[in-house]
Structure 1
Amino acid sequence: MAWEWGDGAGLVGGAAGVVGAVIAWASLLKAREANTIAKQGVESSRKANEIADAAKNLSDRANELSREANQKSGTSNQLAHEANRIAIDANQLAQQANDLFHQQERRGVEVHDVDWDGEWVRPGVYRLRNEGTHTAYDVSATVTVDHEQKRVTSPEVVGGDHLTLDFPEARLQHRVERRRREEAERRRSLYSSPSVIPEFHTIKERVYWKTELGTPQEHVPDSQPMAGLGDFD
């Protein structure tokens, strides 16, 4: 049987068809595989996005918790400082109370010798003298002669020292009374008139002071003595 070129071409064509079919089938498989992979990639991408969102939410929550912790820490520090300040104040108050207690104990046994005596030393000049042996502190003295009142203060008046108050109206009244007495004496020597009755005035003393330990004291006589304005003739 003789070989003919036509028959060879047919065989080649058939083989080519078979190869083409195989290639087409393989391509289809690859396409399906690629499509599956692509779908898996989309799913993986979606899951990755979900995981990323969840991680972001967790990160945001962690930051929020961190801020709350910082705020609570700041509040705790403030409360601790406030508690410490209150404790310091309480200790100071306790120390003050203790000091006052001991001060009261010392005041209870304190010896204090201060006594005030007032007198006219010249017309219109009144002197309050500390007749005691101790010092009077933060002294405030007020003397009222009839309706004329004068006040004097001093940080301290030692024993034997004095305060001086000036009374202009009393000085003028003293001059008037002296002239009356002189006139009355002249009349008495001429006509044997009775003795001149002396004039008296109300003198009120009030003295407030403290002892060395700070104990308040006062000199406020119950009665208001009636006395003259001084005899300086």
Structure 2
Amino acid sequence: MYAQLAHRHASRANELAQAANVQSSASTRLAEQANQLAEEANVYARRGEARDIERDDVRWEGDWVEPGRYGLVQQGEATAHDVVAVVSVDGSEVSIRSPRVVNGETLIFEFPAAAAAYSAERASWDEAVAEAARPRGTAWPPLSAFVAQPDPLRMGFHDHRISERVDWATAQGAHKVHESEQKFASLGPH
């Protein structure tokens, strides 16, 4: 009778030991998965820290290259990645995408309507200058000296709006933005 009771207790102990081994294996797998997730979290944290302290020397400078062609030059030492640049001239918008833009590289935006408007403004200016210089009789000093000289501001030549927006990523993946707006701009090179 004691032998049977001992055998039953031993069998029950073996069953409990097997159950404990199964749970131990499951626990070990869960611990391994938790370690893997912790390693991934550390990688993300290191990347975030690298982005936070990353020095990003990217600057953008825009101006007319020639009438109707606006250029945005990347002036910094770093490379801009995944670039999306948008320039708007008097409400007309042109965008350019580039996988990377290096120091000194220029993005060119075409604005045919601005070129036509610049030509018309230029012709109007030339006409106004010629009219101001026209002789006005034989009086001394010449009356043309008292005729008002043309003023490009009054003639509306600097009454245009140009805006720039450039979105890009740094080498570490940090998002950066450049925005600029000129409210009294001309439509051609200075």
Q: Which has the higher strand share?
A: 2
Alignment of 1:7-156 (within 5 A): 93-156=37-100
Q: Deviations over 1:70-116 (max 9, x none)?
A: xxxxxxxxxx9xxx7x9887666544322210101111221110100
2:8 maps to what in 1?
none
Q: Measure, in 2, the Cα distance between the counterparts of 1:136 and 1:105.
A: 19
Change (3 A) 1:94 1:230: same
Residue deviations 1:104-143 (CA, integer Å, cap 9, x gap): 1111221110100001011100000011111000111111
Please tell me the residue identity of whatever aligns with 2:178. Answer: H
2:148 is equivalent to residue 194 of structure 1: yes
* Corresponding position of 2:165: 206
Is 1:227–2:185 an aligned residue pair?
A: yes
Q: Amino acid of the residue matched to residue 167 of structure 2?
A: Y
- Report if the CA contact (8 A) 2:81-2:170 is conserved: yes
RMSD (CA atoms): 2.5
Cα distance, 1:220 vs structure 2: 1.3
Counterparts of 1:164 and 1:231 in 2: how far apart (Å)?
14
- Residue segments in structure 2 that go unaligned for 5+ positions in a row: 1-24, 137-143
Give the percent of matched residue pairs that are identical in Structure 1 and Structure 2: 39
Corresponding residue for 1:215?
174
Q: Which has the higher contact order (CA 8 A, sep 6+)?
A: 2
Write out per-residue CA displacement over residues 19-54 of structure 1, whole angstroms, 9 at most, x where no aligned residue: xxxxxxxxxxxxxxxxxxxxxxxxxxxxxxxxxxxx
Distance 2:32 2:123 in 1: 73
Residues 182 and 216 of structure 1: CA distance in aligned 2, closer, same or farther (over 3 Å): same
Aligned 8 A contact 2:63 2:189 in 1 = no
Q: Distance in 1 between matches of 2:92 and 2:31?
A: 55
Q: How many residue pairs are counted as aligned between the two chains?
A: 151
